[in-house]
Amino acid sequence: MNLELRHLKVVCAIAETGSVTKAASLLGLAQPALTAQLQRIERTLGGPLFERDRRGARATALGELVLSRARVLLPAMKGLQDEAARLAGAGTDQGMSRYRIGTIGGPVIGGLVHRLSEAQPDAQISTQASYYVDELANMVVAGKLDYAQVGVCGDAMPSADYGLMWQTIAVDAVCILLPEGHPQAEGDDIDLAELAEEQWAAGTGDGCMADCFAAACARAGFTPRRVLETDVRGVVDMVEMGLAIGICQPTFRPPTGLTHRPLAGAPLRWRQVLGWHPDSPAAAVAPRLIGMAVEAYQEAVARNPRYVKWLVNYPALGNHQLAAA
């Protein structure tokens, strides 16, 4: 048997967990199958790699030697695979043959894909959804995605720790989703202080929005009731049943019977951004995609003329100021 990288992963898993049984669970294998695989590896290398007893598995001198090499080879191979994935294909300012876009959802992705499809009918375009910025960012770093189009709390940008370039598409006021007959649905916007007694519902995700929401409520003079986290459909259901009022974007198109209004003074904001790896082919095409994303946002926000009119008094919002991070 020739030794392969997958065999080194087995050895590392046993060493890290201290148990063949735990390593089997970690790797998604049956314990007898992993034991048989370890025995084949040991025969190939000429001796036992672990001393095994009731206390677990401890590396022998030969095992330590194999582990020392594996801990160098496995990260090096992972790095090679990531770099190869990022550099596969040729990217120019005219476009790429393949676009893999991760998204949290929102007003941009549909229009962006539509414009990209029209500009490059032969390009392969795929999307992947997640509630979490860090999941999509890590996939871009690993070369599994070319771009991440995500939303974050308006006073923040995605972490620089990812090593990605991030550019703002637009910043919007957070809106409140409520029944059309709700007393606060009559005006152009809503004073947050007037919602002190309400139950809240919002989509799940990471970032600092929960902390920013609590801080905004504190500035308005109250502590909010616990926010019920769910998906978008769940938020709509709760608002329709009168269980809660929702937190949403101004570009969200509410179903019949519901409406939304921005918060007066825009104490909470939501930032739409596009991210990519600076050393990938996607970097050369990023300016084109930013332009398409801005157009997609403008198209989406134009469907809410009431919000567009409200934005006149908030020149820092919308897509008037594009900022590179």
Angle between helices 20-27 and 31-45 (to 10 degrees): 110
On average, the pLDDT of the chain sits at 87
Contact between residue 15 and residue 27 where contact means Cβ atoms under 8 Å apart = no
DSSP per-residue letters across 73-133: HHHHHHHHHHHHHHHSS--BTTB-SEEEEEE--SSSHHHHHHHHHHH-TTSEEEEEE-S-H
Q: Which of 81-85, 197-201, 256-260, 303-307 has the lowest mean pLDDT?
A: 81-85
Residues 245-267: tens digit of each pLDDT:
999 999 999 999 999 999 999 99
**What residues are paired with 268 via a beta bridge?**
none
Question: Domains, the chain, ranges and CATH?
Answer: 5-87 (1.10.10.10), 98-169+270-311 (3.40.190.10), 175-267 (3.40.190.10)
Could you tell me which of 115, 125, 247 has the C-alpha nearest to residue 176?
247
> With a threshold of 0.85, does the pTM exceed it?
no
Q: Supply the DSSP symbol for 160.
A: G
Residues 119-162: tens digit of each pLDDT:
999 999 999 999 888 899 999 998 999 999 998 887 778 888 78
| C-alpha distances in Å from residue 288, one per residue of 116, 283, 294, 295 | 9, 10, 10, 11
Look up residue 313 and give its two tokens: 């008094």
Residue 86 in this model has a pLDDT that exceeds 70: no
Could you tell me which of 267, 281, 283 has the C-alpha nearest to residue 324?
283
pLDDT of residue 322: 38
User: d(Cα 214, Cα 198) in Å, to the nearest integer?
Assistant: 14
Q: Sheet with 124-129: list strands edge to edge.
A: 124-129, 98-103, 147-153, 269-276, 165-173
**What residues are paired with 99 via a beta bridge?**
125
Beta pairing class for 56-59 and 50-53: antiparallel
Residue reference for tokens 């962006």: 112
Helices (H), 171-265: 209-219, 232-240
| C-alpha distances in Å from residue 28, one per residue of 20, 34, 74, 197, 256 | 12, 10, 19, 48, 47
Look up residue 121 and give its two tokens: 């009918």
CA contacts within 13 A on the Cβ side of 27: 26
The residue type found at 254 is: P
3-state DSSP assignment of residue 29: coil
Q: Which of 37-41, 93-97, 274-278 has the lowest mean pLDDT?
A: 93-97
Q: What percent of the chain has pLDDT over 70?
A: 93
DSSP per-residue letters across 272-317: EEEEE-TTSTHHHHHHHHHHHHHHHHHHHHTT-HHHHHHHTT-TTS
